[in-house]
Amino acid sequence: MSTTTEPVSFTPASKGYVNPDVLVTTDWVAQHLNDPKVRILESDEDVLLYDLGHIPGAQKIDWHTDLNDSLVRDYVSKEQFQTLLRRLGIDESTTVVFYGDKSNWWATYAFWVFQLFGFTNTKVVDGGRAKWEAEGRPFSTEVPKYPATQYVAKERDDAKIRAFKEETLKHSQAKKPLIDVRSPDEFSGKKTHMPEYPQEGVLRGGHVPGAKSVPWARAANPDGTFKTADELRAIYEGEAGLKKGDDVIAYCRIGERSSHTWFVLTYLLGYDKVRNYDGSWTEWGNSVRVPVEK
């Protein structure tokens, strides 16, 4: 047996997820490297990492320039998203597979933005870049080119999976479930930035009143794969008190880490109503007269 073959017990289908098909294994990726109906997209916190080597045939998603508007703090428009997907050789018939660094934290962020535009033929590589590398699989520095498509994007729909400040405030006042996925020191207000990261100018530290602290990385194993459904339920339901029928808002600093938790709750545990507050603490902690707890 090849040393790169993933044990059956660790495949997504074996881990009890409500939607196991949203994840693929590194073996699946290796078998589909030349599949014309598959586009593999790497989305990293470190946007230069792709250039050092990537899964052969993968293309780069730069979260700064590809997903965010350059002027307004918002995501790209329908027209910008359409141009991006046409350039990447993607249309409605394409299966898009995301992976990246940091236990897929930025891969799930890109996945979430794609859902804003109703592009649902999407999957995530369980374990991401770290697992591919740990298994000794090949990397390439060649940047692939695919034929442009005539993809027509849908209008962006923020209502179902995105929350804004005023909605989050009403959620807090109604004592509905809020999950703060930042580090414990950020939650307590001891720090206003991620551990080992520079201070970023937020004027107040703390958390949204009523929020529960569940750091995003608790959902991942050391190898970057997602924990089993039972393990995830023990964290989010056993510890944080969530129930599957809850209306949940998750947040972090700019909505990137909370997209990972949104993915876990929505797809792996099958929650019907989870929204990502992407304004997160950089908006809340700088806003006038919003309540803060420490």
Phi, psi at residue 102, to the nearest 5°?
A: 55, 45
Question: Rounded distance, CA 182 to CA 177, Å?
Answer: 16
Do residues 138 and 56 touch, judged by C-beta distance below 8 A?
Answer: yes
E strands present in 80-129 = 95-99, 122-125
Give ∠ CA 151-109-38 in degrees, rounded to 5.
Answer: 40
- Which two tokens mark 75? 């995501």
**Nearest one of 228, 216, 211, 227 to 259, comparing CA atoms:** 216
E-only strand ranges, 37-90:
38-43, 59-61
Rounded distance, CA 109 to CA 247, Å?
20
Catalytic residue (one of 24, 208, 252, 264): 252
C-alpha 194, offset from chain centre: 17
252 is catalytic: yes
Do residues 276 and 178 lie in contact, with contact meaning Cβ atoms separated by under 8 Å?
no
Spatial CB neighbours of 177, under 8 Å, sequence gap ≥ 6? 212, 240, 241, 242, 246, 247, 248, 249
Element containing residue 123 per DSSP (H, E): strand 122-125
Which residues are catalytic, by number?
Answer: 252
